Amino acid sequence: MKYIDEYREDRTIRKLIHKISEGLKHYNNEIVLMEICGTHTMSIFRSGLQRLFPAEISLLSGPGCPVCVTPNAYLDKAIAYSKLQDTIIVTFGDIFRVPGSSSSLEKENAKDSDIRIVYSPLDAVKTAEKNPDKNIIFLAVGFETTAPLIALSIRIAKRRNLKNYSVFCGHKLIPPAIKGLIQDKEINIDGFILPGHVSTIIGTQPYQFISNDHHIPSVVTGFEPLDIVQGVYILISQIVNHETPKVQIQYTRSVKEKGNSKALDLIKEVFQATNAQWRGLQSIHKSGLKIRKTYRQFDAEEKIEVEVEETKENNNCICGDILRGIKNPLNCKLFRTICSPENPIGACMVSSEGTCAAYYKYADIGRDDE
């Protein structure tokens, strides 16, 4: 299949990894690379790439899973909304099972709450049209990738005068999170593997500060094994050859320097940047989105009051440290004992893009070859 099979061809991948190894022969330092996308993390583990790269290369998983970085405070408020009478909560699937301080949407749905999983925010608009006597609250959790469609759903709701449609906005922005990681003194990152999906929307210009201000190379990479290996090769070439750090695009078949102008215009029309809380990274300046005043009638937080329980954290869960790249799931005493995909204690085990889920499912791949 074009654009799939050729990016999974084992022989080509191993040749390129051999070139990476050759380039590192006279380089004596460890090279720490961080992928900022949960899909990259899953692909790396599923294909066993972490065992093919030379020992000098250390791969860290960063805050690239939108469900994982969503803090308990957001989850607790979403759960509180779900308990209101005449209310339907509409959400993407991953966040359904993420535990908040004392409950989860899944548990509330098993009681009396009406919580529905959809694949598109436009389905949430349809739910509002079909249930005019109910308040419909869409849980908007995601990065720049999903923001345009959620913005479109709000615009459509305004045009159709759907007064029962609301959005609880929990969107996060990737570039400010990267800036927060760079400023974190516990982390020393030599290069970033930038997210392909996000970059199809925003392009590469928002990442220029990484090389211009902090002199760290980065590359926007696709999601197939060869994509990732090519991305690592690009970064290693910059580092080993002492090139001037820059942002490069490996994922040229989908990502352009200026991104998607129509999608960016939609985001700008409906949302504005705001400070936001991230699990593990705390509050990051202008790293989230909130609904603009012109669309305030669709902001759940503005029009629906709800009493929320005191937010609590599970101190035994190290999901926050994993998202920062300072620990991995094997450092967690709950991993594979109490915490599993069937009984998730933290968000990193729930999401299909979570690092703990990747370790749990794929960490043993390649051991027989060692």
Token pair recorded at residue 195: 């997210």
Token pair recorded at residue 298: 């669709």
- Kindly state the average pLDDT of the residues 145-160: 97
Maximum separation of any 2 CA atoms in the chain, in Å: 70
Neighbours of 241 (CB within 10 A): 9
Domain boundaries, the chain: 1-315, 319-369
Could you tell me how far CA 350 lies from the centroid of its own chain? Answer: 13
- Kindly state the average pLDDT of the residues 230-258: 95
Cα(281)–Cα(319) distance, integer angstroms? 11
Which uninterrupted H or E stretch holds 249? strand 247-249
3-class secondary structure per residue, 201-228: HHCCHHHHHHHHCCCCCEEECCCCHHHH
* pLDDT value of residue 241: 92
Token pair recorded at residue 223: 């999601």
pLDDT (tens digit per residue) in 10-59: 788 999 999 999 999 888 889 999 999 999 999 999 988 888 999 999 99
Exposed, middle or buried: residue 25 (CB in 10 Å: 0-12, 13-18, 19+)? exposed
Judge: domain 1-315, CATH 3.40.50.11740: yes
Which uninterrupted H or E stretch holds 116? strand 114-117
Could you tell me how far CA 143 lies from the centroid of its own chain? Answer: 6
Contact between 33 and 57 under an 8 Å Cβ cutoff? The reply is yes
| pLDDT(366) > 60 | no
pLDDT (tens digit per residue) in 289-339: 999 999 999 999 999 999 999 999 888 999 999 999 999 999 999 999 999
- As a residue count, the chain comes to 370
